[in-house]
Amino acid sequence: MMERRFSRQVNCGGVLIGGDAPVSIQSMLNTDPHNFDTSKEQIDTLVNAGCEIIRITVPDTKSLETLKLITEYSSVPIVADIHFDYRLALGAIEAGVSKVRINPGNIGSDDRVKAVADAAGAKGIPIRIGVNSGSIEKNILEKYGNTAEALVESALYHVSLLEKFDFKDIVISIKSSDVNKTISAYEQIAKATNYALHLGVTEAGTYTQSAVKSSIALGSLLTRGIGDTIRVSVTGDPAEEIEIAKAILSATGNRKFGPKIVSCPTCGRTKVDLIGVCKEVEKRLAKCTKDIKVAIMGCAVNGPGEARDADIGLAGGTEEFLLFSKGEIIRKIPASRAVEELIEEIDKL
């Protein structure tokens, strides 16, 4: 990973975004914003999965009541997603949110922008400007077309409205559903400002589509040091977003989430149930926080090399495995005992 781009750090309810803070993981509730019980349940699922910041839409005054209960309940910071109505932003700040996502250009007069900036400033709450390809201002679209440049121009316009009132605790996102446009837009905004960047591909699709698009877009930016917090959007269970986000951050070297598992795809040489062993090991290590590399390989061709290179490893034979620890073969084990004995050895590390 290249050196991290310098960004101005903000504090989102105790989770720092930008500067040298770890790149944080966000998601968004897809429950009814008026229903505390279902929202609470989804917050638990997301937090258990490893989500660090949770956003919720605030569509009307009634939802502010639920929002208050949510901010009191949640162990991670809550972000209010507001469109157009500055009074909802003020209400959300009052309800205890840790960040507001709002585009100041959409809320009307300067007085309203100032009211939101002042209220957020008084509580030390950052504001995220979230531009996406579907929400670019007409005059900017006419000038640039629906391009990366238009996204950047629109974000800078919203930024200028907050800066006018001396508000600088800003995070910016400029998302497109197109991978190349997303990358180009973030590259440009990264050069144009030093505000923290929230990365994401919008409307990324279902699990596989989103995993691929997000990995390419977010991964290529993160490997170049661009990005301070990420949201992977999946049409599906929000907990899947966390799984993909963690895999991206771990692959780019930004974060470590426990053991890194290296496994081969299996082939005609495989004479053990390698896929079953891998799935079980992955499950058993889900809560393990050790910073180790575990290799699970199918045969004697590439197996011993990878297994030796890992902290702990298995190399398959015929219905048996060679168990490696710190580069040494420690014993042969029957395939049926592979998971048990591997986990026992990991516990000793």
Contact footprint for ligand SF4 (CB under 6 A)? 264-267, 269-270, 297-299, 301-303
Query: Which CB atom, from 146 or from 266, has the smaller least distance to ligand SF4?
Result: 266
Strands (E), the chain: 10-12, 15-17, 24-28, 53-57, 78-81, 99-101, 127-132, 170-175, 196-199, 229-231, 260-263, 293-297, 312-316, 320-325, 328-334
Q: Which two tokens stand for residue 28?
A: 């968004």
Q: How far is the CB of 33 from ligand SF4 (least distance, A)?
A: 48
Q: How far is the CB of 23 from ligand SF4 (least distance, A)?
A: 32
Query: Which CB atom, from 177 or from 266, has the smaller least distance to ligand SF4?
Result: 266
Say how far apart CA 136 and CA 133 lie, in whole Å: 6
Sign of CA dihedral 59, 25, 47, 20: negative
> Residue 19 in 3-state DSSP?
coil
Say how far apart CA 154 and CA 185 lie, in whole Å: 11
Q: How far is the CB of 339 from ligand SF4 (least distance, A)?
A: 18
Strands (E), 144-263: 170-175, 196-199, 229-231, 260-263
Say how far apart CA 347 and CA 253 lie, in whole Å: 24
Q: How far is the CB of 278 from ligand SF4 (least distance, A)?
A: 11
Query: Which CB atom, from 80 or from 294, has the smaller least distance to ligand SF4?
Result: 294
Spatial strand order in the sheet of 320-325: 260-263, 293-297, 312-316, 320-325, 328-334
Say how far apart CA 278 and CA 273 lie, in whole Å: 9
> Residue 56 in 3-state DSSP?
strand
Query: Which CB atom, from 243 or from 280, has the smaller least distance to ligand SF4?
Result: 280
Say how far apart CA 201 and CA 214 lie, in whole Å: 6
Q: How far is the CB of 169 from ligand SF4 (least distance, A)?
A: 50
Chain residue whose CB lies nearest ligand SF4: 298
Q: How far is the CB of 96 from ligand SF4 (least distance, A)?
A: 52
Say how far apart CA 34 and CA 172 lie, in whole Å: 28
Q: How far is the CB of 302 from ligand SF4 (least distance, A)?
A: 4
Could you tell me the CA-to-CA distances from 198 to 90, 152, 155 in Å, in that order? 22, 14, 12
Query: Which CB atom, from 217 or from 274, has the smaller least distance to ligand SF4?
Result: 274
Query: Which CB atom, from 286 or from 301, has the smaller least distance to ligand SF4?
Result: 301
Q: How far is the CB of 219 from ligand SF4 (least distance, A)?
A: 24
> Residue 188 in 3-state DSSP?
helix
Query: Which CB atom, from 301 or from 349, has the smaller least distance to ligand SF4?
Result: 301
Query: Which CB atom, from 249 or from 296, has the smaller least distance to ligand SF4?
Result: 296
